[in-house]
Amino acid sequence: MKKMKKIFLALLCIPFFVTAQYGKKKKTQEQFETINIKAEMPYMDEELKSVNGLSYSLKTLTEKNGLIVLFTCNTCPFVVKWEDRYKQTEELAKKNNIGLVYINSNYKKRDGDDSFEEMKKHAKKMNYRFPYLLDKKSLLANAFGAKTTPHIFMFNSNYQLVYKGAIDDNYENINKVKDFYLKDAMEQLVKGKKIKVAETNPVGCSIKRYKP
């Protein structure tokens, strides 16, 4: 009788074990690790469509001193707050021969705020001077392990990651910024110096990525 009871209890545990394992596996599949410093630029030859109607690869957008890849969107409150810094980033990038590209990976909002048409309108409204690309099925977001909008990845001329994270330490007020992470990293990169702060935590809205 005791033996039968043990078998019965063991059978009851099987569905729970299977469910727990399945849930664990599913969660792991949905997580994307952010690439490490010194990692090679992912999918650098992949061409993505820009709001100007042309298609670009990250490799072709890389300038003499490297490339800044900025994952962004149209309406995230953090993007809206930080977007005045985008202009400064554009000016610094141009001045220092560093390429810059904006990427929208918000697949789940393609029928709304982050549709290709809305991207066009937003780029025009904000007067973007660098390409704004459609990451159709979040391919680049997944490959980079981009977490938020905004999320910055800066590469040197050898396509190696040298900085990743936030633009600065205060999205709410530019006048209260104490640490200009990206600006400092750009200046150090151009001077051939080691990036003092190569990694910071990205702050923003989660990327509404494609899930098959």
pLDDT tens-digit readout, 139-149: 999 999 999 99
Number of H helices, E strands in the chain: 6, 9
Residue appearing with tokens 């330490």 = 169
List all residues 6 or more positions away from 81 whose beta carbon is below 8 Å from its beta carbon.
171, 172
pLDDT digits (tens, 9 = 90+) for 169-193: 999 999 999 999 999 999 999 999 9
67-88 residue pLDDT tens: 999 999 999 999 999 999 999 9
d(CA 168, CA 63): 23
* pLDDT mean over 55-66: 98
Closest CA to 208 of 141, 108, 135: 108
CA distance 152 to 85: 12
- pLDDT above 90 covers a percentage of the chain that reads 82
What's the pTM value of the predicted model, to 2 decimals?
A: 0.85
Whether the predicted pLDDT of 107 surpasses 60: yes
